[in-house]
Chain A
Amino acid sequence: MANRTVTDAKSVKGTNPQYLVEKIVRTRIYESKYWKEQCFALSAELLVDKAMGLEYIGGTFGGNIKPTPFLCLVLKMLQIQPEKEIVVEFIKNDDYKYVRALGAIYMRLVGTSLDVYNYLEPLLNDYRKLKVQNKMEVFELTHIDEFIDELLREDRVCDVILPRIQVFII
């Protein structure tokens, strides 16, 4: 089926990677128009196109819990499970901040604690603005470094529960 995880996917945190997004949010994504229309049969290569077209980040919004395109693409990445190098390429690209945000949240979801700190902490020097759509469909402003900080500290970002990582203690 179109929503199945790729067969050669490695399990992440002991489960199917798609299960990292909660069931309710996941079904909302599956039944959203963006998922059905735009995200069908995407490979990592074509995902780049869609990621470049992103204009804001965010989780779900509206009364009937619609997912943002950003969240749809996160799930798509979990589904097709691109190689780590590709994700790093997403994070390292300098021109497209939303691609970077997408790569960062995916790395946070899937990577080990060490990887997460290795790849995300350098992004704390990136002060560009990000548009965020909140639950009430209102746009807010944040910055990449703020977003990364949220990823490292909070346990829930963009309506996805983040897996635990080891806390860095000096």
Chain B
Amino acid sequence: MATKPEGKADNFRRTWDTDEYEKLAKERLENEDEEPAPKRSNVPIKRELLKPREHEVDLDSTLGKSVVITKSTPTSQQGGYFCNVCDCIVKDSINFLDHINGKKHQRNLGMSMRVERSSLDQVKKRFELNKRKQEEEKKKKDYDFEARMTELKEEEERQREKRKEARKQKKRKLEPEGDIDPEMAAMMGFSGFGGSKK
């Protein structure tokens, strides 16, 4: 190591042991020559273009529910919105949307923030596709009317049968009460369960 810098009486500046430092520097240079520091690659990482979400963001499925949180609950259930891609919790819906749309999140998904540029042909095709889809839906709706009526009738019938069935079962449930052996009842000191009014 270098000697401690000392000040001389006539000169307040510090003096340095130049020989010592020169030797150190030379040593360092030699070492560097032997093993050059790993260079950062200049090739940029190719990321995919930004894609929109396919599903709707689920923001209100846990709305109005209360859950007990203890120390041992996993982070994904600790309240707030949990992002399983970035493994973090966001406390409110707007911030969660910000996070999902953010650079960090998209990077974790392997996407850059660039959007694909679509051509005129693509737009034209999209117009046609959507138009056809809407027309088909309309057709289905018109076509459905008759079928829907019969469907409704069937549904009604089913409901009626269900009600009948329920009534029958109720009766069956009530019946056994009368079936208690009177002798046994007398022995036990009562004549029936609860239903004094019959």
Residues of B within 8 A of A49 (CB): 126, 130
**Do the beta carbons of B123 and A86 come within 8 Å of each other?**
yes
Residues of A within 8 A of B56 (CB): 37
Question: Which of A7, A8, A44 counts the most B-chain CB atoms under 10 A from its CB?
Answer: A44
Residues of B within 8 A of A (CB-CB), count:
29
Interface residues of B (CB under 8 A from A): 50-53, 56-57, 94, 97-98, 100-103, 113-120, 122-124, 126-127, 130-131, 134
Contact of A4 with B52 at beta-carbon distance under 8 Å, contacts A36-B94, A48-B130 already known: no
**Do the beta carbons of A46 and B52 come within 8 Å of each other?**
yes
Question: Chain B: which residue is nearest A93 at the CB level?
Answer: B127
Interface residues of A (CB under 8 A from B): 1-2, 4, 6-8, 31, 33, 36-37, 40-46, 48-49, 52, 80, 82-83, 85-86, 89, 93, 95
A114–chain B nearest beta-carbon distance, Å:
21
Question: Chain A: which residue is nearest B120 at the CB level?
Answer: A85
Residues of A within 8 A of B131 (CB): 95
Question: Which of B101, B114, B122 counts the most A-chain CB atoms under 10 A from its CB?
Answer: B101
Residues of B within 8 A of A80 (CB): 115, 117
**Do the beta carbons of B123 and A40 come within 8 Å of each other?**
no
**Of B101, B114, B119, B126, which one neighbours A40 at CB under 8 angstroms?**
B101
Question: Which of A6, A41, A44 counts the most B-chain CB atoms under 10 A from its CB?
Answer: A41
**Do the beta carbons of B115 and A43 come within 8 Å of each other?**
yes
